[in-house]
Amino acid sequence: MKNWGERLKKVEQLAQSFQLHPLATRYKPRLRQPSSVWKLFPRQTMAISFAQSCKEAVHVFALEREKTPLGQRIYLVTSYSELWHYYGTYPQSLMHCYEVIPEGAVCKLYFDLEFHKPSNKGADGKAMVTSLIQYVCDKLMEVYGVESSAKNVLNLDSSTEDKFSRHLIFNLQNAAFKDNIHVGRFIHEILQPVLNRPKSGSSSDPGMNFVAKNSETCRACAAPEEEASSGDVAKSPHTKRRKLEEKDLSFLQVKNKDGQDCLFVDLGVYTKNRNFRLYKSSKVGKKAVFTVADDNKFSAKAEKGISVEESLFLASLICNVSFTGQRILTWDIPETRKVDAFVLTVAKKDGIQGSIRRWNYFAAEQLLVYDIAKYRWCENVKRFHKSNNIMIVVDLKDEVWYQKCHDPDCRHFRSSSYPLPQEICVSYILTLDEEDQAYLMDDAGNIEPSQAPQSSQEEPVDVWGDAQEDQDFLKSLDDFEQNSDEISDQLMLNCLAELDSQ
């Protein structure tokens, strides 16, 4: 018993010692972690350019600020996980947050739905949402062969006493659209029966008078050598079927607050670099936030280390689409792309008239994947394949390109990486510094201008002197080192003092 008492006393002494002198301080997460990206920009173009040049998987978000001119926004570049980490911590700064859907980015099918309640007293919003989801799911199967249901659709509600407001985000299984322009063209086409209906009152609404262009060129880009045709819808359907669909879609016609005909579906949200309000965010000056609707059928997949709330947040993001295994759905629009000309030079080597069959852009990975036709040279077998084409992958992050192959024997092959031409690289943007930001966020979540605005009549002061002088100075030191046995500390100090005096 005596030994036991001594041992117990020693344990108590050790416990007291550890309390007074812990082995390590308790970890406190900070806003600016070394491995994170959290940069604020005054203009959307600057933010998008920076995000495209980042090695990390980052995205652009727009922030509306209180007590500023209505509609004024600043732009945040960060990762999904980083934003979610601080989303609830700094409601003052992040409560009016929008996802920026970049031009050309692969994205989900999405809808913005609303109507003015006092002007549509007989309208059943929930039933309208249910009918629309079912109709769109039917069209996805008919046009692309993609199976879906209400269980794939995240249904978010931001309704008030005066307005019925919903966001629908389709989380399809292994399928997404090439970009939101293709989404808009697909939606315009499948809603043609109601868009073409005779309307009472004013017909000045541009959305109601839209006529889809290039509808005969609908195409679904799928896995290698796989295409889905949309001919049934894109060509000229039978008159009976059109009339039936027109009758079935009559519920989509609603009245605005002025009593004019308008559409339940907002057709204006499929534009380049669109800002789309986030789950749990409100408009500036408003209190209504987007929450999960009580008639929502979607449930986010639980992943290790991710809460249900974060899973819903990730499912609500339009551009949160994985690169791997996705079938890319398109509604073709003839457009030119900045690296197309370079890729064509690869496809037309040695006098062979190769061409670009189609391309897909994956925003998170910053990859452009070109499907090449009529040019089958494979670096793996060192010859032309007899029937299978190749792919050219352009990595905008690492500023390289490489070749992959459709041939089953080369399925896992990736060629050597080759540098992109300097004129199509964006590496210079990596030189952006903290002082390039017009705004900074401190540890308390406050967003303030990073520096006082300068007069347009004055040249900015270069605190560190002329960059060319610095380079000349370093070159001189390098030459001196190579031609001298030793550089004394005093000589170094004299050189630095002489530079500072200039």
pLDDT tens for each residue of the chain, 502 residues long? 556 777 777 777 777 766 665 554 443 444 444 447 999 999 999 999 999 888 889 999 999 987 777 668 999 999 999 999 998 778 778 999 999 999 999 999 999 999 999 999 989 999 999 999 999 999 999 999 999 999 999 999 999 999 999 999 999 999 999 999 999 999 998 998 888 765 554 433 333 333 333 333 333 333 333 334 344 444 444 555 656 666 689 999 999 999 999 999 999 999 989 999 999 999 988 889 999 999 999 998 878 888 999 999 999 999 999 877 789 998 864 434 578 888 888 888 777 878 888 887 777 677 888 888 888 888 888 888 877 788 888 888 888 899 888 878 787 888 889 988 877 776 544 444 444 566 777 767 777 776 644 444 433 433 334 445 445 545 554 554 455 444 445 554 555 455 455 5
Q: In Å, how far from its chain's centre is CA 88?
A: 21
Strand partners, 327: 175
Sign of CA dihedral 94, 97, 102, 105: positive
Give the burial string for 392-402 (b: 16+ CB within 10 Å, else e): bbbebbebebb
- The 3-state DSSP class for residue 256 equals coil
Identity (one letter) of the amino acid at 219? R
Which tokens belong to 31?
């806003």
Which tokens belong to 363?
């925003």
DSSP run (H or E) holding 261? strand 261-263
Q: 81 phi and psi, to 5 degrees?
A: -65, -40
> Cα angle at 76 between 318 and 71, to 5 degrees?
85
Q: In Å, how far from its chain's centre is CA 46?
A: 15
What is d(CA 40, CA 88) in angstroms, rounded to the nearest whole number?
Answer: 18
Q: How big is the chain, counted in residues?
A: 502
Give the burial string for 112-124 (b: 16+ CB within 10 Å, else e): bbbbbbebbeebe
What is d(CA 294, CA 125) in angstroms, rounded to the nearest whole number?
Answer: 12
What is d(CA 483, CA 480) in angstroms, rounded to the nearest whole number?
Answer: 5
Q: Please state whether the predicted TM-score (pTM) of the whole model is above 0.75.
A: no
Which tokens belong to 260?
């004019």
Identity (one letter) of the amino acid at 87? Y
Task: Show the beta-strand stretches assigned E in 315-399.
Answer: 327-331, 355-362, 367-373, 377-378, 383-384, 390-395
Number of H helices, E strands in the chain: 13, 24
